[in-house]
Structure 1
């Protein structure tokens, strides 16, 4: 057996617990906004040191709801060029205009310098993305910059369940954090998202927006332009069960990453995106940069064909300003984003990865690197 790019881990005990929960939910008929959603919200808030959590249908919905609550319509929102479509897509859906900024190549995140370069009087928010689960140590400086300008800092923490910096969990550095529970994430509910915040006002607004803008669940009284962003009870039960494994999963992924760090240090020109001091990543992705001139597609093909090792998708292979859908928002070149997107690969990190699988990846990457970059 080879090493897959990703593996979704629910052991026999998890599956039995989920099955019992599904049976209970179907028996009661409470299929949405019920007790399992509340349990999931409470458990996730506790796990991430937050006062409030609001479960929604997806990580994209979580971002859009936060941005709608801020009120970005007709205004600018700064987002990094190195991120998934949804970060900027949520800005558009909320009526804002995405302003694409360059990143620090050592963290793949916004820097205070790259943000300050694009701030204008029309800036309504800044969205910081924790790529691969890595929180930039510049997060405090970014928050200070935003505070000085009266601009909310929002965290796209879709990758960062259980990550922290200086002991503070992802999602707690800004006005709100938005998480995703897409199947490949470290914690999944199948589909879903979560907002965490210290603001009771944002929590209340988010609850309104997620349920078609209704002022109350039981009333047909619409006070906001909301949508169907509810999380089903079935998804909430899956997420609640999976969340119990978060610490275990993160420890496994960190052990794998530590072995990759040691192995890659001996390969000339292959540079890992490593943790800065004070950062504790969940290693949702293990990102490394190929030497300039190495054909990434050929590197990946050779790993798969000759070693049966498959790399997970890059984060990301195209910066947002090169995505056709964002052509109207292109500005000046963003050289750091363009370089890291062109050269990055993601080694497989699995929540139940074995030592033999880790060895196989290291041996395969070493052999292919020697052939293509030696």
Structure 2
């Protein structure tokens, strides 16, 4: 399996984010990359740098207004006397169907769902290279590779078509899935991140060519709060093509794998031609967000189970997973388990 990664992903680093009314150190830091690379290196994955794919594949998922905002917002923000070094919204519209604002302050509120995705001068470049990594992993599968892993940072699954949030700016998982549709008629997305991938769900919510399935901590008292509930099944043509498994806080290996069994059963009923895994490693028992309790060994079981029961081409996109000593080993265990399951 190849590991796709682009070095400029290191550049983006908002040093704080707003949580519970307080500014705290941002856990989505460049050091995550180093830990994840340790895991990829331990497996001796072939490292690949993605080419410049431009905006084409990204624009199939995100609106032109939003992409223009991400590219230019920091430059406009810098013109505000006394503005903070990072863009964080301080006003949000109650409705988003009226006049598009001219002020970058208002645009920030329009395009940023919360205060956990600040924009710096390096954000656009890093997010772009993160998306190109996801695109290239999907391209590898499109030309015949059985699987590929994209080390994406910043992550993406909380980003909507025109919204940033939850450390996410461009939805790498959705971009990869949409790119795969150039060849494959049906795509399934399996999200195993600690947090519900609300952006991914929203992007495909009314479509029946992409099945979205997510296992995550119950959002009733956990981010992203408003999305990820079991009642969310899709709408219009997409009704029945979205499935959520909200898990009780502290769910460990056996409970997670039991839900995964049900998720895979639904995915196989859809019979996708290709699978995209949104690989969050923050369901780990020692992750700083402390929502679920999957073990390092459990990640090996999860990877093996997916590969055994959903054979076929697979793109693996890195989502969450925050700094802890075991982060690299968790990645290595998942990928090792996946490869073991794929050979059976």
Q: TM-score, normalised by structure 1?
A: 0.26
More helix by share: 1
Which fold has the larger relative contact order, with Cα–Cα distance below 8 Å and residues 6 or more apart in sequence?
Answer: 1
The structure that has the greater radius of gyration is: 1
Q: TM-score, normalised by structure 2?
A: 0.28
